[in-house]
């Protein structure tokens, strides 16, 4: 389950394409626009660097300067990515969002990407003893089989791009493997 920022009208902003969850899916749609990325510094930087290929106007937003390390700031700066500190609120507008700073000033952006990570729902697999990584993703082999014989995992619980196409592909591999094992 994707984590999202706490902001009024989030669902409406997602439906309008103002808040986006997947740059792999749709970054081509926001070429040249003003883009902000919110999330923990490591994932926000990774996503901002990816998006840098689509726009020159990108920033990482955070509440406090200490939310982003000097190392991340240096990497962002070297790539031409700004870091905006003291962002107190995100206010959706008809087109874009206003970043509201602690001093009351605002900055308009066109699109906000969330790089806040996911809550992996692998509890059941853990309960039956399937091996998982430190983030909770179920470890799978080339045919999506877990560490437990006969138990398979596909989609968002298996570390991947969290893309429906990836889940379908993993499911095809798993079902073929299961079918062939029954012959």
Query: What digits encode the pLDDT tens for the residues 64-120?
Result: 788 899 999 999 999 999 999 888 888 888 889 998 888 889 999 999 999 888 889
Buried b (16+ CB within 10 A) or exposed e, 42-79: eebbebbebbbebbeebbbbbeeeebbeeebbebbeee
Cα angle 41, 57, 39; round to 5? 20
User: What is the Cα–Cα distance from 140 to 101, expressed in whole angstroms?
Assistant: 44
Reply yes or no on whether the pLDDT at 7 is more than 90: no
Q: How, if at all, do strands 97-101 and 106-109 pair?
A: antiparallel
Domain positions in the chain: 10-114, 123-182
Please state the separation of Cα 99 from the chain's center in Å. 20
Q: pLDDT band at 56, cuts 50/70/90?
A: very high
Kindly report the average pLDDT of the chain as a whole number.
Answer: 91
Q: Using an 8 Å Cβ cutoff, are 51 and 62 in contact?
A: no
Helix (H) or strand (E) holding 111: strand 111-114
CA distance 135 to 150: 23
Q: Residue 120: what pLDDT?
A: 92
Task: Provide the angle, in degrees to the nearest 10, between the axes of the packed helices 70-78 and 41-51.
Answer: 0
pLDDT of residue 133: 95
Neighbours of 126 (CB within 10 A): 13
pLDDT for the residue numbered 63: 78
* pLDDT at 160 > cutoff 90: no
Condensed to tens digits (0 to 9), the pLDDT of residues 19-52 reads 998 899 899 999 999 999 998 888 999 999 999 9
pLDDT at res. 173? 96
Which pair of tokens denotes residue 24?
Answer: 């792999």
Q: Is 136 left (phi over 0), alpha (psi -120 to 50) or beta?
A: left
pTM confidence score: 0.81
- Mean pLDDT of all residues in 140-167: 91
Q: For 123-182, which CATH class?
A: alpha beta
pLDDT of residue 171: 96
Q: Give the strand pairing for 35-38 and 58-61.
A: parallel
Give domain 10-114's CATH architecture. 3-Layer(bba) Sandwich (3.50)
Q: Do domains 10-114 and 123-182 have the same CATH topology?
A: yes
């Amino acid at each position: 389950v994707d984590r999202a920022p706490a902001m009024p009208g989030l669902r409406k902003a997602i439906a309008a394409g103002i808040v986006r969850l997947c740059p792999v899916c749709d970054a081509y749609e926001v070429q040249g626009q003003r883009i902000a990325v919110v999330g923990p510094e490591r994932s926000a930087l990774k996503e901002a660097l990816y998006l840098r290929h689509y726009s020159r106007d990108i920033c990482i937003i955070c509440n406090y300067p200490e939310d982003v390390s000097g190392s991340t700031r240096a990497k962002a700066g070297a790539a031409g990515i700004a870091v905006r500190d003291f962002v107190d609120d995100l206010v959706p507008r008809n087109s874009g969002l206003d970043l509201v700073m602690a001093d009351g000033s605002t900055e308009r952006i066109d699109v906000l990407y969330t790089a806040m990570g996911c809550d992996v729902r692998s509890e059941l697999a853990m309960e039956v003893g399937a091996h998982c990584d430190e983030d909770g993703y179920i470890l799978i082999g080339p045919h999506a089989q877990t560490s437990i014989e006969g138990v398979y995992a596909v989609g968002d619980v298996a570390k991947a791009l969290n893309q429906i196409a990836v889940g379908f592909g993993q499911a095809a591999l798993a079902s073929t493997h299961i079918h062939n094992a029954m012959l």
